[in-house]
Chain A
Amino acid sequence: DVQMTQSPSNLAASPGESVSINCKASKSISKYLAWYQQKPGKANKLLIYSGSTLQSGTPSRFSGSGSGTDFTLTIRNLEPEDFGLYYCQQHNEYPFTFGSGTKLEIK
């Protein structure tokens, strides 16, 4: 199975700042990496797939980069609604696996 190592586990930032979350795969997954947002009381939301393709409706302040084994989610100019949990997931091969999550909190 492809192991996904996500860092950091926790992140604190203020509205208006920029943050980056990293995800490392245990072997090459080409470009096939997705990012999801999880917030209490809301359905999980697909933000980015195939490394850098924004899902319809994802604000342009979100961006994804990387290929092979190393990927990054960057959120610029943080908005209050961006705080929550973020997960990466490889969608290259069975079984589909997730990172352990990053909790983005308001500083």
Chain B
Amino acid sequence: QIQLVQSGPELKKPGESVKISCKASGYTFTDYAMHWVKQAPGKGLKWMGWINTYTGKPTYADDFKGRFVFSLEASASTANLQISNLKNEDTATYFCARSGVYYGLFEYWGQGVMVTVSS
């Protein structure tokens, strides 16, 4: 069955960096785009962007340009999200989500990774 398994929770200080992984299984990794979605505590879902898993080309939503990097380890069917120079407002759960029949559709989701930024 199709699964997206994300790495564990992270506790970081402001200014540090974090890298979150999303390992896919049950399908051909390069056949579908991978999206990233942010959910701040008690808030709704916000699309961060996506990465073309065939070419490796990332696309970032405007609010996530600069400190956010999407990358791949295609041989390991893994997508990564790295956030640098962490700020308190980066405290959130970060989800990876695989596209579906339309690339803007989130057909399968990871379980989410809670990143806490606190001094």
Residues in chain A within 8 A of chain B (CB atoms):
32, 34, 36, 43-46, 49-50, 55, 87, 89, 91-101
> Can you offer 23 A-B residue contacts whose CB atoms are under 8 A?
A32-B104, A34-B105, A36-B45, A36-B106, A43-B4, A44-B95, A44-B97, A44-B106, A45-B109, A46-B100, A49-B100, A50-B102, A89-B45, A91-B104, A92-B104, A94-B59, A96-B35, A96-B47, A96-B104, A98-B46, A98-B47, A100-B44, A101-B45
| Interface size, chain B (Cβ < 8 Å) | 22
Residues in chain B within 8 A of chain A (CB atoms):
4, 35, 44-47, 59, 61-62, 95, 97, 100-102, 104-111
Q: A34-B105, A93-B104 are in contact. List 14 more A-B contacts (CB 8 A).
A: A43-B4, A43-B108, A43-B111, A44-B97, A46-B100, A50-B102, A87-B44, A89-B106, A94-B59, A95-B62, A97-B47, A98-B46, A98-B47, A101-B44
| Contact A55-B107, Cβ < 8 Å, known A95-B47, A98-B44 | yes
Give the distance in Å from the alpha carbon of A32 to the alpha carbon of B103 in the complex.
12
Give the distance in Å from the alpha carbon of A67 to the alpha carbon of B59 in the complex.
27
| Contact A49-B44, Cβ < 8 Å, known A44-B109, A55-B107, A95-B61 | no
Q: Which of A36, A50, A96, A101 has the most CB of B within 10 A?
A: A96
| Contact A98-B45, Cβ < 8 Å, known A44-B97, A49-B100 | yes
